[in-house]
A and B are shown apart, each in its own frame.
Chain A
């Protein structure tokens, strides 16, 4: 596994953990009496936590793999194939993010509790990022 693939796996696992937490939170009354500001603040903390966990996991995994391989496990400079795979997976992630972010307007248009729109705006880039990471791993396998 290359350094780039490892980072994609970490992003994928982090996104799945967030999805599990989100499901758990919603099932345990996360929406009861929730305000837009309260939910937005909570989700901002989640985004911060995902970034920190991603950075720490990448460092820990790099050190662990380096120890096993007995050589530095660092990111090689991107070549044309890496750039092509990045472009294709980011495009796919971007399409998903845009579509879901657009759908986040639906609850607002229907006059439903705006808290749902906040969850939608949070979920759009999370799902888009997950699709992008999964696509990256797929393209590294097939092309």
Chain B
């Protein structure tokens, strides 16, 4: 599961696996971003815009919260 410093985690790797090992390139094409951006999102190095987040969820036909989760870091509400 990819997790960045923002406390946002995602399950894109699992969702790709469940979608018949969808490649990062295929997901990138569906979402309309580059493969490098999908890699960065999946690894938690980049937090996408709300629109791209919804596009990713739509690509897997799941609700947004099944793709992205947010856990507040210590000291954050």
Q: Which residues of A contact B (CB under 8 A)?
A: 2, 76, 79-82, 140, 142-143
- Chain B interface size, as a band, is 10 to 19
Contact status B36-A2, CB under 8 Å: yes
Of B33, B36, B45, which is within 8 A of A80 by CB? B33
Chain B neighbourhood of A143, CB < 8 A: 40, 45-46
A122 to B34, CA, bound (A): 36
Counting CB contacts under 8 A, is B63 at the interface?
A: no
Chain B neighbourhood of A2, CB < 8 A: 34, 36
CB of B40 to closest CB in A, whole Å: 6
Interface residues of B (CB under 8 A from A): 32-34, 36-37, 40, 45-46, 48-49, 52
Provide the residues of chain A in CB contact with B49, threshold 8 Å.
80
- Most chain B CB neighbours (cut-off 10 Å) among A2, A80, A81: A81
Query: Looking at chain B's contact residues, is the secondary structure mostly helix, strand, loop, or mixed?
Result: loop
Inter-chain CB contacts under 8 Å: number: 26
Interface residue from A76, A80, A82, A142 paired with B52 (Cβ < 8 Å): A80
In the bound assembly, the distance between CA atoms of A80 and B50 in angstroms comes to 11
Query: How far is it, in angstroms, between the C-alpha of A140 and the C-alpha of B46 when the chains are bound?
Result: 10
Question: Which A residues are CB-close (under 8 A) to B52?
Answer: 80
By Cβ-Cβ distance, the 9 closest A-B pairs, closest first, are A79-B33, A81-B37, A76-B34, A79-B34, A143-B46, A79-B37, A143-B45, A80-B49, A81-B46
User: Quick one: which of B33, B37, B45, B48 contacts A142, CB cutoff 8 A?
Assistant: B45
Nearest A residue to B45 by beta-carbon distance? A143
- CA–CA, A82 to B46, complex, Å? 11
List residues of chain A with CB within 8 A of the CB of B37.
79-82
A140 contacts B36, C-beta separation under 8 Å? yes
A79: B residues at CB distance < 8 A: 32-34, 37
Distance from B42 Cβ to chain A, minimum over Cβ atoms (Å): 13
